[in-house]
Amino acid sequence: AQSVAQPEDQVNVAEGNPLTVKCTYSVSGNPYLFWYVQYPNRGLQFLLKYITGDNLVKGSYGFEAEFNKSQTSFHLKKPSALVSDSALYFCAVRDGGAGSYQLTFGKGTKLSVIP
Protein backbone atom coordinates (compact mmCIF):
# COMPACT_ATOMS: atom_id res chain seq x y z
CA ALA A 1 0.00 0.00 0.00
CA GLN A 2 1.13 3.54 -0.65
CA SER A 3 0.41 6.62 1.43
CA VAL A 4 1.22 10.30 1.76
CA ALA A 5 1.30 12.47 4.85
CA GLN A 6 1.14 16.25 4.88
CA PRO A 7 1.65 16.98 8.58
CA GLU A 8 0.49 20.60 8.50
CA ASP A 9 -3.09 21.49 7.69
CA GLN A 10 -2.10 25.14 7.35
CA VAL A 11 1.12 27.08 6.84
CA ASN A 12 1.35 30.83 7.29
CA VAL A 13 4.28 32.78 5.92
CA ALA A 14 5.03 36.46 5.42
CA GLU A 15 5.38 37.76 1.89
CA GLY A 16 9.00 37.70 0.79
CA ASN A 17 10.00 34.98 3.25
CA PRO A 18 10.94 31.46 2.18
CA LEU A 19 8.21 28.86 2.38
CA THR A 20 8.21 25.12 2.92
CA VAL A 21 5.28 22.72 2.66
CA LYS A 22 6.09 19.29 4.03
CA CYS A 23 5.34 15.88 2.58
CA THR A 24 6.39 12.37 3.56
CA TYR A 25 5.47 9.22 1.72
CA SER A 26 5.41 5.46 1.94
CA VAL A 27 5.58 3.17 -1.08
CA SER A 28 6.94 -0.32 -1.61
CA GLY A 29 8.68 0.30 -4.92
CA ASN A 30 10.38 3.33 -6.43
CA PRO A 31 8.39 6.47 -5.67
CA TYR A 32 7.04 8.78 -8.31
CA LEU A 33 6.27 12.02 -6.47
CA PHE A 34 4.17 15.02 -7.46
CA TRP A 35 3.04 18.39 -6.17
CA TYR A 36 -0.20 20.07 -7.20
CA VAL A 37 -1.77 23.42 -6.36
CA GLN A 38 -5.46 24.24 -6.17
CA TYR A 39 -6.83 27.76 -6.21
CA PRO A 40 -10.37 28.38 -4.90
CA ASN A 41 -13.11 26.83 -7.05
CA ARG A 42 -10.56 25.49 -9.53
CA GLY A 43 -9.16 22.11 -10.49
CA LEU A 44 -5.70 20.94 -9.47
CA GLN A 45 -2.72 22.27 -11.38
CA PHE A 46 0.49 20.26 -11.75
CA LEU A 47 3.56 21.99 -10.25
CA LEU A 48 6.43 19.52 -10.44
CA LYS A 49 7.42 15.88 -10.27
CA TYR A 50 10.25 13.58 -9.25
CA ILE A 51 10.63 10.37 -11.24
CA THR A 52 14.37 9.77 -11.21
CA GLY A 53 17.64 11.67 -11.39
CA ASP A 54 18.55 14.88 -9.58
CA ASN A 55 17.04 15.06 -6.10
CA LEU A 56 16.24 18.76 -6.50
CA VAL A 57 13.49 19.34 -9.00
CA LYS A 58 12.26 22.69 -10.24
CA GLY A 59 8.75 23.43 -11.31
CA SER A 60 6.28 26.11 -12.21
CA TYR A 61 5.97 29.55 -10.58
CA GLY A 62 9.43 29.35 -8.95
CA PHE A 63 8.65 26.30 -6.82
CA GLU A 64 11.11 23.49 -6.21
CA ALA A 65 11.11 20.28 -4.21
CA GLU A 66 13.80 18.07 -2.77
CA PHE A 67 13.55 14.29 -2.84
CA ASN A 68 15.13 12.71 0.24
CA LYS A 69 15.09 8.93 0.03
CA SER A 70 16.44 8.26 3.53
CA GLN A 71 13.80 10.47 5.14
CA THR A 72 11.09 9.48 2.61
CA SER A 73 10.30 13.14 2.15
CA PHE A 74 9.49 15.44 -0.74
CA HIS A 75 9.11 18.95 0.69
CA LEU A 76 7.94 21.81 -1.51
CA LYS A 77 9.92 25.05 -1.27
CA LYS A 78 10.07 28.55 -2.64
CA PRO A 79 12.76 31.13 -1.79
CA SER A 80 10.42 34.13 -1.62
CA ALA A 81 6.68 33.79 -1.10
CA LEU A 82 4.11 35.87 -2.95
CA VAL A 83 0.58 36.67 -1.82
CA SER A 84 -0.61 35.00 -5.01
CA ASP A 85 0.93 31.71 -3.80
CA SER A 86 -1.87 31.44 -1.25
CA ALA A 87 -3.71 28.24 -2.17
CA LEU A 88 -4.19 24.59 -1.26
CA TYR A 89 -1.22 22.33 -1.98
CA PHE A 90 -1.33 18.58 -2.48
CA CYS A 91 1.49 16.05 -2.48
CA ALA A 92 0.91 12.75 -4.30
CA VAL A 93 2.77 9.48 -4.78
CA ARG A 94 2.53 6.40 -6.91
CA ASP A 95 4.55 3.22 -7.00
CA GLY A 96 6.74 3.29 -10.07
CA GLY A 97 6.35 -0.44 -10.58
CA ALA A 98 4.64 -1.73 -13.70
CA GLY A 99 0.91 -2.13 -13.52
CA SER A 100 0.46 0.43 -10.77
CA TYR A 101 -2.06 2.99 -11.96
CA GLN A 102 -3.17 4.63 -8.76
CA LEU A 103 -1.99 8.00 -7.50
CA THR A 104 -2.44 8.59 -3.78
CA PHE A 105 -2.89 12.15 -2.56
CA GLY A 106 -2.21 13.74 0.79
CA LYS A 107 -4.99 15.63 2.52
CA GLY A 108 -3.63 18.99 1.49
CA THR A 109 -1.93 21.96 3.15
CA LYS A 110 -3.46 25.41 3.02
CA LEU A 111 -0.78 28.02 2.43
CA SER A 112 -1.52 31.59 3.44
CA VAL A 113 0.98 34.28 2.48
CA ILE A 114 0.50 37.37 4.59
CA PRO A 115 1.22 40.78 3.01
Partner 1 sequence: DAGITQSPRHKVTETGTPVTLRCHQTENHRYMYWYRQDPGHGLRLIHYSYGVKDTDKGEVSDGYSVSRSKTEDFLLTLESATSSQTSVYFCAISEGPEGAYEQYFGPGTRLTVT
| Residues of this chain that bind partner 1 (CB under 8 A) | 32, 34, 36, 42-46, 49, 51, 90, 94, 96, 98-108
Please report, as a single letter, which amino acid is at residue 91.
C
3 state SS of 92: strand
| CB nearer to partner 1: pick between 43 and 115 | 43
CB of 9 to partner 1, least distance (A): 9
Q: What are phi and psi of 60, to 5 degrees?
A: -75, 155
CA distance 82 to 36: 17
CB of 92 to partner 1, least distance (A): 8
Dihedral of CA 43/74/53/82: which sign?
positive
Half-sphere exposure of residue 74: CA atoms within 13 angstroms, side-chain side: 31
CB of 80 to partner 1, least distance (A): 25
CA torsion, ordered 52, 58, 64, 66, to nearest 10 deg:
20
| CB nearer to partner 1: pick between 15 and 22 | 22
| CB nearer to partner 1: pick between 37 and 81 | 37
| CB nearer to partner 1: pick between 82 and 103 | 103
CB of 54 to partner 1, least distance (A): 16
